[in-house]
A and B are shown apart, each in its own frame.
Chain A
Amino acid sequence: MHAVKRQMILGVTGILMMLVSSVCFGAGIPDKVTINSIQKYYAPVSFNHAAHINKLKDCGLCHHHTTGAQVTDPNCARCHKNSGAQAVVSCKGCHTAEPFTPEALKQQRDQQPPIYHRDKPGLKAAYHISCLGCHEKMHGPTGCQDCHKRNDGGDAIFKSGKYAPKAPAKPKAAHH
């Protein structure tokens, strides 16, 4: 019993730690989450957590087994059928922003147990694979700028807006 209580407390602390801005949806679940992992190129996303909860009801669709929701993926269920709510439920609590640094690669390789969670996407991909995958299925918005407007840095790298190519390239050989 004590153990369960402790786990719950840990769980709530985890959720609290995840808060970026919040008007509470029950026990510390944020209504809005600001996602700014690619602010070099895009404006932050103010993610309407509350609306998604209302629509989907099932926390496990995004949070896997971590909120204690029943997992349906048979690969996950092998271990997490009854593993209960976890201390960490936020995306960035498990999905690292820099998945391919030498340290991250080593950690991924050496982790225990050595079989599972090896193929865990980085934070940016965790968002996109989860959000876009679902939006495609549920006919939600799927364009890059439907969720995050590109900023100046983004226009610069995409050669768009004021950085758009001036004229169609002429073969330079003509100068010779």
Chain B
Amino acid sequence: MIERRDFLKGCLACGVTAATVSVASGKAMAAGSFEGYPDAMGVLVDLTRCVGCRSCEAACNAEQKLPEPDLAFDDTSVFSDKRRTTEKAYTVVNKYQVADKETLFRKIQCNHCTEPACLSSCFVNAYTKTKEGAVIYNAKVCVGCRNCMIACPFNIPAYSYSSPLNPLVKKCIFCYDTRLKDGKPPACVDICPQQVMTFGRRADLIKLGHDRIQANPAKYVDKLYGEKAVGGTSWMYLSSVDFDKVGFDGHIQNEPIISNVKDFLGFVPMVLSIWPALFTGVHLLATKNKDGHHDHEEGDHQ
């Protein structure tokens, strides 16, 4: 990962020629080969436990010192829409009618990919994947280009449009500054009454997730979402219904998005002048196989 980040730095500093060379060396490293830091932490989210109380949204708002919400956090009218993350809400809980009398809630936030597409797509190198597992960013260097927003397979990064002249990226940072770096669980995990989220070493959580399925095969679909998706994510999910019924992209690729976008990246400085075309291209690649992806439809009319 370090090499890749350096490679991206190279793109920025040296322009097209250097970048093209770097792309070649980047290719030599098989995409998806990065297993992640051995002690990286993660979160196992069990959708079957969530009761939709929105405590996690409230805790995130307080912990991240986000602006006042439009509605109180105990207001359940928000469930009539499928919301996405915004500059004011790094996490949102949506409600899904999955069967006649059965609803499931799903909390959305950054999944903290092992090989993050946002990081790969950022040509000012604003993003870092920390050894603890968090994908964080340096808003000071962000130029507001929105590449990461387009590259993210989960539609997570939002922009502070309230500042039209200086829109900066905003997203869940796994409570890195205030908690994760000191070994503490994130605020949303901490407050959840149902322990929907289990915090631990990612490697342990993979085992825990499979054990939970094995102990109760009638309750869960036999899949740990995020174990493999886009090269692995730090936040992983268990569900009692097919994942596409609760807004996940069930057909998401297992290879990291970087394998799609890296060829593009070498050309970034050149295509700055053909901005819209770049966006369309990266978007198409990042959303490959995304037919019928709910998040996306929702994201589009926001």
Residues of A within 8 A of B (CB): 38, 75, 99-102, 105, 108-109, 118-119, 121-122, 124-125, 128-129, 132, 142, 144, 157-160, 163-166, 168-169, 171-173, 176
Chain B residues, CB < 8 A from A142: 51
CB distance from A145 to the nearest CB of B (A): 9
A159 touches B164 (CB 8 A): no
Q: Which of B108-116, B185-193, B279-287 touches A?
A: B185-193
Instruction: Pick from B53, B58, B59, B72: contact of A164, CB below 8 A.
Output: B72
Instruction: Pick from A121, A158, A159: contact of B68, CB below 8 A.
Output: A159
B185 touches A165 (CB 8 A): no
> What's the Cα separation between A132 and B193 when bound, in Å?
10
Residues of B within 8 A of A (CB): 49, 51, 53, 55, 58-59, 61-62, 67-74, 161-162, 164-165, 183-185, 189-190, 192-195, 198-201, 204, 208, 211-212, 215
CB distance from A22 to the nearest CB of B (A): 26
Chain A residues, CB < 8 A from B183: 101-102
B193 touches A128 (CB 8 A): yes
> What's the Cα separation between A171 and B232 when bound, in Å?
37
B208 touches A129 (CB 8 A): no
> What's the Cα separation between A176 and B163 when bound, in Å?
10
In the complex formed, the residue of B with least CB distance to A103 is: B183
A169 touches B68 (CB 8 A): yes
Name which of A102, A109, A157, A159 has the most chain B CB atoms within 10 A of its CB.
A159
Chain A residues, CB < 8 A from B195: 99, 121-122, 124-125, 128-129
Chain A residues, CB < 8 A from B70: 165, 168-169
Instruction: Pick from A99, A129, A159, A172: contact of B69, CB below 8 A.
Output: A159
A159-B73 contact, Cβ under 8 Å, with A99-B195, A100-B199, A100-B200: yes
Chain B residues, CB < 8 A from A100: 184-185, 189-190, 199-200
> What's the Cα separation between A166 and B59 when bound, in Å?
20
B199 touches A173 (CB 8 A): no
In the complex formed, the residue of A with least CB distance to B208 is: A119
> What's the Cα separation between A122 and B196 when bound, in Å?
11
What 9 A-B pairs are tightest by C-beta distance, nearest first?
A125-B195, A100-B185, A128-B193, A160-B72, A102-B183, A100-B199, A158-B73, A172-B162, A121-B195
B162 touches A105 (CB 8 A): no
